[in-house]
């Protein structure tokens, strides 16, 4: 495995990653393996997690895939026992499971637009179960894995928890109130955990990705013919760097925050990686 650019050394450390079958966390898994970590890839889609594990192992790293439901503590505890038996105690936990749901998304950005959109789903039509699912997936899907795996790190030097928030946590986007609120909760929870574990040898931080093109949002950002949607134009107009991020541009912050020498006095922070979106007032 090739070395990482920051020389973050994770040799022998067990790194547990939820949502590891996805593009972002799958990439994180590869980078942490390249830094010497032994990777436990947790995902409800075990085939996707296995594909990432196979890639890591083929490149000379160490990885195991596990089917896991981050909303079921009993399931997580079962997976935890398997990870301990296969790889050892958890040193690094990346809470990457999360996402939005159409049932918790409005069709209109502003209520006065309701007459302009046929069969428009407004704020008043949001599905209660959909909103509950989004909050559970993002918040409980961070809390429950932490309850299960952080216990391994207690009173051991160098424990790290990294949560995946979103720039929505700071500036809520139109149409997705549940997702924005849930990610705000993740940032607040990161700060709470950092305080709670400050004397226990565990650092807790987060990153807040801005706009990156992935499978979940591609349909919102581009038309079927590949042309940008009006929402894409708004996003890029509000991003001082004038482009979407590349997934590789998330890696530096992750490796830095997990580096126990470079970031030894950093806990409770959330780093926006958004091309300046959160800093720009629009004027």
Q: Do residues 138 and 179 touch, judged by C-beta distance below 8 A? A: yes
Average pLDDT over every residue of 211-226:
80
Average pLDDT over every residue of 57-84:
98
pLDDT in tens, 122-142: 999 999 999 999 999 999 999
Name every residue whose Cβ is closer than 8 Å to that of residue 16 and which is 6 or more positions away in sequence: 40, 42, 83, 90, 92, 93, 94, 145, 149
The percent of residues above 70 in pLDDT, for the chain, comes to 97
- Write down the catalytic residue from 66, 170, 179, 280: 179
280: annotated active-site residue: no
Helix locations, the chain, DSSP H: 23-34, 46-58, 73-86, 128-135, 141-149, 177-196, 218-221, 230-237, 251-257
In the chain, what are the domain boundaries? 14-210+245-270
| pLDDT on residue 216 | 67
Half-sphere CA count of 30, side-chain side, radius 13 A? 20
Rg for the chain, CA atoms, rounded: 19
| pLDDT on residue 215 | 67
Averaging pLDDT over each range in 106-110, 203-207, 234-238, which range is the top one? 203-207
Nearest to 94 by CA among 37, 34, 157: 37
Is residue 2 over pLDDT 80?
A: no
Name every residue whose Cβ is closer than 8 Å to that of residue 75 and which is 6 or more positions away in sequence: 68, 69
Instruction: List the single range of 31-35, 97-101, 152-156, 219-223 with lowest mean pLDDT.
Output: 219-223
| pLDDT on residue 1 | 46
Superfamily of the domain at 14-210+245-270: NAD(P)-binding Rossmann-like Domain (3.40.50.720)
Query: The tokens of 263 are what?
Result: 């970031």
Query: The tokens of 139 are what?
Result: 């918040």
Name every residue whose Cβ is closer than 8 Å to that of residue 282 and which is 6 or more positions away in sequence: 238
Query: The tokens of 148 are what?
Result: 């299960």
| pLDDT on residue 81 | 98
Instruction: List the single range of 57-66, 101-110, 123-132, 216-225 with lowest mean pLDDT.
Output: 216-225
Q: Do residues 256 and 263 touch, judged by C-beta distance below 8 A? A: yes
Instruction: List the single range of 10-14, 115-119, 247-251 with lowest mean pLDDT.
Output: 115-119
Average pLDDT over every residue of 161-166:
98
Residue 5: pLDDT band (50, 70, 90) is low
Residue carrying the six token digits 């998330």: 250
Nearest to 53 by CA among 70, 66, 69: 66
Distance from C-alpha of 274 to C-alpha of 240, rounded to nearest angstrom: 9
| pLDDT on residue 102 | 93
pLDDT in tens, 164-211: 999 999 999 999 999 999 999 999 999 999 999 999 999 999 999 999
How many helices (H) does the chain have, and how many strands (E)?
9, 7
Four-CA torsion 182, 186, 192, 194, nearest 10 degrees: 180
Helix locations, 35-113, DSSP H: 46-58, 73-86
Instruction: List the single range of 3-17, 103-117, 183-197 with lowest mean pLDDT.
Output: 3-17
Residue 151 per-residue DSSP state: G
Is residue 55 over pLDDT 90?
A: yes
Mean pLDDT of the chain: 94
Is residue 282 over pLDDT 90?
A: no
Distance from C-alpha of 148 to C-alpha of 146, rounded to nearest angstrom: 5
């Amino acid at each position: 495995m090739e070395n990482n650019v920051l020389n973050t050394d994770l040799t022998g450390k067990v790194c547990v990653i939820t949502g590891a079958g996805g593009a972002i966390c799958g990439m994180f898994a590869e980078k942490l393996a390249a830094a010497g970590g032994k990777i436990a890839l947790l995902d409800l889609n075990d085939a996707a997690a296995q594909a990432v594990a196979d890639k890591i192992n083929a490149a000379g790293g160490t990885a195991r895939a596990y089917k896991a439901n981050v909303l079921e503590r009993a399931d997580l505890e079962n997976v935890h026992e398997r990870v301990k038996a296969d790889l050892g105690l958890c040193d690094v936990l990346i809470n990457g499971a999360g996402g939005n749901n159409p049932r918790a998304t409005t069709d209109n950005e502003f209520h006065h637009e309701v007459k302009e959109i046929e069969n428009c789903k407004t704020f008043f039509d949001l599905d209660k179960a959909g909103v509950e699912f989004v909050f559970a997936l993002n918040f409980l899907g961070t809390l429950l894995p932490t309850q299960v795996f952080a216990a391994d790190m207690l009173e051991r030097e160098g424990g790290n928890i990294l949560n995946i928030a979103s720039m929505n946590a700071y500036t809520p986007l139109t149409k997705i109130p549940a997702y924005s609120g849930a990610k705000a909760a993740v940032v607040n929870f990161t700060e709470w955990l950092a305080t709670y574990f400050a004397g226990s040898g565990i650092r807790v931080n987060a990153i807040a990705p801005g706009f990156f093109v992935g499978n979940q949002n591609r349909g919102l950002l581009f038309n079927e013919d590949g042309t940008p949607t009006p929402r894409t134009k708004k996003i890029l107009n509000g991003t001082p760097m004038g482009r979407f991020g590349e997934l590789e541009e998330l890696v530096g912050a992750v490796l830095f925050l997990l580096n126990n020498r470079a970031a030894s006095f950093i806990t409770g922070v959330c780093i926006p990686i958004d091309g300046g979106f959160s800093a720009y007032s629009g004027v």
